[in-house]
Amino acid sequence: MHLETHTGDFIEVSRDYLESAPRHQLVEYLEMRGSACFDDESTDLLRECAIDDFDSEQADSDYTASPYDLSHCRR
């Protein structure tokens, strides 16, 4: 999946990559996505945050609203 970075560039990443990435790559990913990372945060926490970020983007891209669905409009 291609995800936008905080600078407007795009990176290609997969959930499998995040599940096996070493700490420095998780930090790089999270910082490119706009998150701050600190030395006292565990690698497990960074991985959890990275996967949560990825999953939330995946959920957004899975949503496909019909252009003919006007149920959200007020009458």
Domain boundaries, the chain: 2-62
Task: Output the pTM of the full model.
Answer: 0.77
pLDDT digit string, tens, across residues 10-55:
999 999 999 999 999 999 999 999 999 999 999 999 999 999 999 9
For 41, which DSSP code? Answer: S
Q: State the helix-helix crossing angle for 23-32 and 43-62, rounded to 10 degrees.
A: 40
Mean pLDDT of 3-9: 92
| Whether pLDDT at 66 is above 60 | no
Amino acid 59: pLDDT: 73
Alpha helices in 1-75 (DSSP H): 15-20, 23-32, 43-62
What integer is the mean pLDDT of 47-67? 78
Q: Which two tokens stand for residue 58?
A: 């995946």
Query: Does residue 75 have a pLDDT over 50?
Result: no
| Spatial CB neighbours of 3, under 8 Å, sequence gap ≥ 6 | 10, 11, 12, 13, 33, 54, 57
